[in-house]
A and B are shown apart, each in its own frame.
Chain A
Amino acid sequence: MSFKNTTVGHPAPPPHLRVSGIHKRFGGVHALRGVDFEVARGEVMALVGDNGAGKSTLMKVLAGAHAANEGQFFIDEAPVNVTTPNDANGLGIQIVYQDLALCENLDVAANLSLGAEPVKSGWRFLPHLLRPLDDLEMEVKAKNAIDRLQVKTLQSVRAKVGGLSGGQRQAIAIARAVGADCSVVMLDEPTAALGVAQTRQVLDVVKRLRDTGHAVIYISHNMRDIFEVADRICVLRHGGNVATWRTENTTPDEIVVAMTRGLDAGANNVV
């Protein structure tokens, strides 16, 4: 690595999820070259970089969708192994992909418990797949999840997802990830396709996640959103770290320069 490892500094809170020295190769392409990354509980860590910088690859490595060729994972400083999506789920790492993957033909409650539907007790003589669904329990769970995130514009958990706005859908995708008992939430470009009001709604949800003690990894190209919600900003370039800034100590211009040109000699306000 040609840059000084600036990820871990004293003002930073103790990390909840930390990875170090991550290498990922796809055939001859060296996509990640020893990346260090960390995120603490109750913090929004923005992950930025130009196209091809390795953001998505890093995210997929964290989610277990790609196995890293080299590198260590730590949860609360205890070493762990993440090589499959199930490993990541087991450690409470959830990812909200850009395409959300919601079923538009089902209502909000059904989407939130998709794949883990509660069934009524009793009926033990039937296989699990054919036991009656407990829709009321499903609605209670959905209401709690929605209330926790304070999605105010959503009137009913029985509304079909197909009829909701983009912001509401994003909020529901986030609620589904959070509902799975997770501590780390990764959001991939959550506001990319949204208008002003809906972006506001999603950013509010992100802040709620931070306030409820989740570690949030926020991937975006939108500097205004990043400077509004992020506590720290980690910049990647050409598959390696450039640096990590505290949001209050930097400016959008500086981040853009770091993304496109790496660290200049003059950029000395590193945490």
Chain B
Amino acid sequence: MSSDLKLTFIDRLRILRETRFGAFVPVLLALAAIWTYFGIAVPIWDYWGDSDAESIRFIFLSSRNIYNLFMQSAVIATLAVGITVVLLLGDIDLSAAATAGVCAALLGVLVLAGVPAWIACLIVMGVGIVMGAAQGVLVAYVGIPSFVVTLAGLLGFQGLMQKILPTGNLNVGDPFIRGFARVLLPETAGWALATACVLIFAVLNLRKQGQRRQKGLELESSVAVWGQVTFFGVLMFATVATLNSYRSVPLLVVLLMAITTLVGWVTTSTPYGRSIFAVGGNQESARRVGMNVKRIRVSAFAIVGLMAAIGGIFGASRFGSVSYTAFAGGSLLLESIGAAVIGGTSLFGGRGSVWNAILGALVIGSLGNGLDLSGASAADKLMFSGAILLLAVAIDAVSRSGSTSS
């Protein structure tokens, strides 16, 4: 197994994707490329092209725009995290955005009817779980392909949302629900939270390294350990500094990170999460070692339903209203599936992570935001998004076809 052979570019890509943090690299590169283009290249271009301009205006990279970018991407990211879980199984959920729409509409109607907002949120989350799990039962026990079940779900739930909201629009003014998007953490709390996260991350990493040494296992190189901690720390503090310099860290972003951490932990560090990866990698293998493949499927669809409901609540909170076009009828579904896939989660199952979905959502959000700022038309936006999605899936396909032949 000598590795001295000359490596092709695709081999390198494949090896990169197999490492623990390497899966982040393609999506980070895409993000860097988009930010460089819209943040630096476009303003300089405009400055040179326009003799009247007094100075270069970096609108895209201003802290105000970054703040908006985070808020715009939050709903997409919430759905993408859920969709990632079913993609890991090798299934797909086309109904997530419609589920989110039904949940948001129901939330609006319940609050209007005088139900306390927090109870309405819990009810809606329960409804989301049931909607997801019902589709999961059809996929797992009846044996209908998930594509078909969730396509039917997409159509049916779109109709259901219109039934709940005959006018197609409902304002949500409840302070509790608006609070998710409006409440800002005090600046010091943001710094404290970031410091705590970085410290916990560092302690966990170092403790693991110590335990490895104790048990005589192969060690991560200390460059890698400290590199990870440094990278994570820089990312956290840069984010908080940017958000603080405009307003401060919004509660919505903190909640999104907390939920993603929880889902990420469940999928990578528990027997349940391992079984999701096992089913996605080789269903027959999972069945032979005694995993209940059907129940795992249903539970994964229940998780998407829950995440869709949360996405619906976040959306209602951010827009201050529930409208048909913002959820079921708009581009939310394709953007969130696109976010999951651009993040590097394989459509064939077994490979991916919820953190990549967050980065993928940022890519989609940045693209839309940047094109808006540079005055591109809706047609340009659609075509750009299509091209980026195609590129992401191509990377997945290429790195996969290499890894199956040995």
- A161 (CB) vs chain B CBs: closest residue: B281
Interface residues of chain A, those whose CB is within 8 Å of chain B, are: 99, 101-106, 110, 114-117, 119, 128-133, 135-136, 139-140, 143, 153, 155-156, 158, 160, 162-166, 169
- Contact A103-B404, Cβ < 8 Å, known A115-B290, A130-B270, A132-B270: no
Check A158–B218 contact: CB distance below 8 A: yes
How large, as a class, is the contact surface on chain B? 20 to 34
Complex CA–CA separation, A60 to B350 (angstroms): 29
Interface string of B252-292 (1 = CB under 8 A from A): 00000000000000100111101101101110111011110
Complex CA–CA separation, A155 to B275 (angstroms): 25
B1 at the interface (CB under 8 A from A): yes
> Residues of A contacting B211 with CB < 8 Å?
136
For the A-B complex with A101-B282, A140-B215 known, give 18 more contacts whose Cβ atoms are closer than 8 Å.
Answer: A101-B285, A103-B285, A103-B350, A104-B404, A105-B351, A106-B350, A114-B278, A115-B278, A115-B290, A129-B275, A133-B274, A136-B208, A136-B215, A139-B215, A162-B18, A162-B403, A162-B404, A165-B406
B212 at the interface (CB under 8 A from A): yes
With beta carbons under 8 angstroms apart, the residue of A116, A139, A155, A163 that contacts B217 is: A139
> Residues of A contacting B18 with CB < 8 Å?
160, 162-163
> Residues of A contacting B291 with CB < 8 Å?
115
A248 to chain B minimum Cβ distance, whole angstroms, is: 35
> Residues of A contacting B280 with CB < 8 Å?
105
- Contact A103-B278, Cβ < 8 Å, known A136-B211, A140-B217, A160-B18: yes
Check A104–B274 contact: CB distance below 8 A: no
A41 to chain B minimum Cβ distance, whole angstroms, is: 25
A167 to chain B minimum Cβ distance, whole angstroms, is: 10
B271 to chain A minimum Cβ distance, whole angstroms, is: 5
Check A128–B403 contact: CB distance below 8 A: no
Check B284–A114 contact: CB distance below 8 A: no
> Residues of B contacting A140 with CB < 8 Å?
215, 217
Centre residue among B218, B274, B275 by max chain A CB count within 10 A: B274
B286 to chain A minimum Cβ distance, whole angstroms, is: 7
- B270 (CB) vs chain A CBs: closest residue: A130
Check A153–B1 contact: CB distance below 8 A: yes
Interface string of B339-371 (1 = CB under 8 A from A): 000000000001100000000000000000000
Complex CA–CA separation, A103 to B406 (angstroms): 15
